[in-house]
Amino acid sequence: MLLEGKRLVVTGVLTDDSIAWHTARVAQEQGAALVLTGFGRALRLTERSARRLPDPPPVLELDINDPVHMEALASDLGERWGAVDGALHAIAYAPDDALGGNFLTTPPESAGTAFLTSAYSYKTLAVGLHPLLVAAGGGALVTLDFDNRQAWPAYDWMGVAKAALQAVTRYLARDLGADNIRVNAVSAGPLTTMAAKSIPGFSRFRDVWGKRAPLGWDVSDPTPVANMVCVLLSDWAPMTSGEVVHVDGGFHAIAAEGD
């Protein structure tokens, strides 16, 4: 199996329609041992979703912006496994006034929150897990991206944060490569997850995607994205780092929809 014997951390699991949940499902099917993380009031959602996996894994609390939480997670994983082979970073948040067409009026503190939680947090997770990845002889980190080379309606400062996330991916790849740690991002097409529903005007993303993507696109199926995440977490991508891999039906490559 692709992930036989791998010890993986999957953050950001809320409901069982999320990319993170489907990544956990595929990873278990491919032989991985898992720990999930959740946060605050959403922790109960994570625990409920964990019970829907083939082999319900432990759920630990992680507020990525709280250093005490990151230290506690690393300590627990160290006692539990002694080492970690990889992790999925599926953490993002922007306040309401940083989305929905408020780009010009968004206050700096809201833009800062979007950056801190959605981009800088990838570095926080990488540094927190670094000793455990080194103990494993190296490993892989993957984050979830949304292609932001264009300005999208309503996406606003989350789009800026995602651009920063791509840059963080490259710099982490530079600084962690010497320890045989690969760092990548998967840029997914739009999916009808809980996170997507919080984006004003999400239907505009959904409507255009199927028309322009040459392979088509099913907004209700996270499995293709989860499969790619698992490939990047596996030993089948030993020389891939600093990359943004698109899983979007080919949408990103096409300038305009065909006839």
pLDDT by residue (tens digit) across 115-139?
A: 999 999 999 999 999 999 999 999 9
Give burial (CB, 10 Å; 0-12/13-18/19+) of 137. Answer: exposed
What domain range includes position 102? 7-245
pLDDT score of 198: 61
Per residue in 137-183, pLDDT (tens digit) is 999 999 999 988 889 888 999 999 999 999 999 999 999 999 999 99
Say how many C-beta atoms besides its own lie within 10 A of residue 52's C-beta: 12
Catalytic residue among 120, 155, 171, 197: 155
Q: What is residue 196's predicted lDDT score, i.e. its pLDDT?
A: 58
Is 123 a known active-site residue? Answer: no
- Number of domains within the chain: 1
Catalytic residue of the set 162, 171, 197, 211: 162
Is 68 part of a structural domain of the chain?
yes
Query: Which pLDDT score, from 0 to 100, does residue 209 have?
Result: 83
Average pLDDT, the chain: 94
Element (H, E) at 69: helix 67-80
Is 122 among the catalytic positions?
Answer: no
CA 214 to chain CA mean position, Å: 24
Quote the crossing angle between the two packed helices 121-135 and 67-80, to the nearest 10°: 20
Percentage of the chain exceeding pLDDT 70 = 94
CATH code, 136: 3.40.50.720
Per-residue pLDDT band at 200 (split at 50, 70, 90): low
Written as one letter, the residue type at 144 is L
Q: What gap in Å lies between CA 200 and CA 100, rounded to an integer?
A: 5
Residue 183: inside a domain: yes
